[in-house]
Amino acid sequence: MAMPLRQSLRLGGYLMKQKLLRKEKFPLLVELEPLFACNLKCGGCGKIAQPHTLLKQRMPVEQAVGAIEESGAPMVSIAGGEPLMHPQIDEITRQLLARNKIIFLCTNALLLPKHIHKFKPHRNFAWMVHIDGLEERHDASVRKEGGFQAAVDAIKLAKEKGFRVMTNTTFFTGDTPQDVIDVLDYLNDLGVDNMQISPGYAYEKAPDQDHWLGVQQTRELFAKAFGGGNRKRWRLNHSPVFLDFLEGKRDLECTPWGIPSYSLLGWQRPCYLLDDGYAKTYRELIETTEWENFGRGKDPRCSNCMAHCGYEPTAVIATLGSLKESVRAAVGH
């Protein structure tokens, strides 16, 4: 099953507008990081490696909303760090929803029960809970015993209160095709509205540098997991083109400007995963970044990347620019 119809229609209208305006580069979604602090020390993330003074900082509401307004992106993924540690995260969310943005609030869910009363269900809002495998695998990944059960309990609570809940799962070298199948089956049965998946990227600040997937490993993993028509039964928040890409059925060019990242440091060049400095404004990011220098075959750091943030924008643009692919996405193939 492909991404939700409402999300697809919103993106289709947005892309048509960009085409009419003859814009070559535009954001589909902004990764907004209003803080770097977190209550976990996950092996695959290096955000908390930032200086202590920076970890104490929280982005003002006006700055967060202003950055999204400047970019014009229709969708926002609020990440971090752990966003629920930001004392005004509910206000940031409310103001973005008031501006008709589609919001995904990323969280490890440990603090969700404590703060859920600050939020109300909204057609443009979803919790994005990180689930890195079933219990043993997840707890090892986040380096916290009981982390999986806490996340599951929070998902159930959010669903009971009428929220839309999505999950995000990253896979590494230790994962097998059966692991992929098992966690997606579990999330299906749990009632998660949509699942997002991604192969782990070799994030240079991450504590664990030994379990990143290579391109061929990624293709083999997902080709076997998706075999026999499996992927049709899961509520995956991806276009069929991106899933074809994960399986190795087609190749795609990276679109690094499609999902830009904005944090306390500014607009990150060239993408969420690489750190080649920061621009003060979105316009500066777009106009002064040498986009042609990034992607597999261009920058060695990109050689094994098949991450959602670089390739899903390419897939979405390819899907909505093709009647055949649009129909395939609509019927979930």
Residue 38: its pLDDT value, please? Answer: 92
State the pLDDT confidence band at 324, using cuts at 50, 70 and 90: confident
Report the alpha-carbon distance of residue 238 to residue 247 in Å, rounded.
13
* Domain 3-329 CATH class label: alpha beta
Residue 266: its pLDDT value, please? Answer: 97
Residue of 130, 132, 115, 114 whose CA lies nearest to 80: 130
Residue of 79, 71, 86, 125 whose CA lies nearest to 102: 125
Residue 206: its pLDDT value, please? Answer: 47
Residue 41: its pLDDT value, please? Answer: 79
The answer, yes or no, to whether residue 284 has pLDDT greater than 90, is yes
Q: Does residue 168 sit in helix, strand or coil?
A: strand
The answer, yes or no, to whether residue 211 has pLDDT greater than 60, is no
The answer, yes or no, to whether residue 333 has pLDDT greater than 60, is no
The pTM score is 0.91
* Section 122-147 average pLDDT: 93
Report the alpha-carbon distance of residue 173 to residue 180 in Å, rounded.
12
Residue 44: its pLDDT value, please? Answer: 65
The answer to whether 200 and 171 have CB atoms below 8 angstroms apart is yes
Report the alpha-carbon distance of residue 47 to residue 63 in Å, rounded.
20
pLDDT tens digits, one per residue of 306-322: 888 889 999 988 887 77
CB atoms within 10 A of CB 152: 19
The pLDDT mean for the chain works out to 90
The helix or strand, by DSSP H or E, that contains position 169, with its residue range, turns out to be strand 164-171
Report the alpha-carbon distance of residue 162 to residue 164 in Å, rounded.
7
pLDDT tens digits, one per residue of 231-250: 889 999 998 999 999 999 99
Strand order in the sheet with 125-130: 194-199, 164-171, 125-130, 102-107, 75-78, 29-33, 261-263, 266-270, 275-279
CA distances from 65 to 73, 75, 102, 106 (A): 11, 12, 13, 17
Residue 319: its pLDDT value, please? Answer: 83
pLDDT tens digits, one per residue of 66-116: 999 999 999 999 998 999 999 999 999 999 999 999 999 999 999 999 999
State the pLDDT confidence band at 64, using cuts at 50, 70 and 90: very high
Residue 325: its pLDDT value, please? Answer: 78
State the pLDDT confidence band at 134, using cuts at 50, 70 and 90: very high
The answer, yes or no, to whether residue 209 has pLDDT greater than 60, is no
Residue 258: its pLDDT value, please? Answer: 95
pLDDT tens digits, one per residue of 174-205: 899 999 999 999 999 999 999 999 887 654 55
Instruction: Give the percent of the chain with pLDDT over 90.
Output: 66
Residue 244: its pLDDT value, please? Answer: 94
State the pLDDT confidence band at 251, using cuts at 50, 70 and 90: very high
Q: Looking at the chain, how many residues does it have?
A: 333
Backbone angles phi, psi at 173, to 5 degrees: -60, -30
> Using alpha carbons only, what angle is made at residue 136 by residues 133 and 140, rounded to the nearest 5 degrees?
85
- Domain boundaries defined on the chain: 3-329
State the pLDDT confidence band at 215, using cuts at 50, 70 and 90: confident
* Section 217-229 average pLDDT: 93
Report the alpha-carbon distance of residue 222 to residue 128 in Å, rounded.
22
Give the max Cα distance, the chain.
52
> Using alpha carbons only, what angle is made at residue 66 by residues 64 and 68, rounded to the nearest 5 degrees?
75
Residue 80: its pLDDT value, please? Answer: 87
